[in-house]
Amino acid sequence: MDAKSPLPSEQAASRLTPHSVEWYVWGFWHVVYLSTLAFMLVSILWPARTALGWHEVTLTLLVLAQTALYLKILLFNKHWPLSARQLALYFGGSLALWFVEWRLEPGFFWVVMSYFGQMYGLLPPRVAIPGTVFIFFLYYAETQNWDLARASVGPAIGFFIEWLGSAVVFLFLYYSIRIGEERGQLIVQLQAAQKELEAARQRDAELAALRERERLARDLHDSLGHALVALSVQLEAVQRLYKVDPERASAQVDELKALTRASMDDLRRSLAGLRTPGLGERCLSDALQTLSADTSQRAHLAMTCHVAEGANQLTPALAETLWRVAQEAVANVERHAAARRVELRLELETHTALLSIQDDGRGLPLHAEQQPGHYGLRGMRERVEGLGGALTFASNGQGGTHIEARLPIL
pLDDT in tens, 348-358: 988 899 999 99
| Mean pLDDT value of segment 232-245 | 81
Residue 1: inside a domain, yes or no?
no
In this prediction, residues 143-152 reach a mean pLDDT of 72
Inside any domain, residue 342 = yes
269: in domain: no
pTM exceeding 0.85: no
What integer is the mean pLDDT of 30-38? 83
Tell me whether residue 208 is in a domain: no
Per-residue pLDDT for 333 more than 80?
yes
Q: Tell me how many domains the chain contains.
A: 2
Q: Which of 151, 178, 211 is the last residue in one of the domains?
A: 151
Domain boundary among 128, 151, 174: 151
Whether 243 is in a domain gets the answer no
Each as own residue / partner, the long-range contacts of residues 117-121 (CB below 8 Å, 24 or more positions apart, any chain) are 117/29, 117/32, 117/170, 117/173, 118/29, 118/33, 118/74, 118/91, 119/91, 119/170, 120/170, 120/171, 120/173, 120/174, 121/25, 121/26, 121/29, 121/173, 121/174, 121/177
**Which pLDDT belongs to residue 20?**
47
The boundaries of the domain holding residue 295 are 282-410
> What's the pLDDT tens digit per position in 365-407?
666 665 555 556 777 888 888 888 999 988 755 678 899 999 9
Q: Tell me the average pLDDT across 87-106.
A: 87
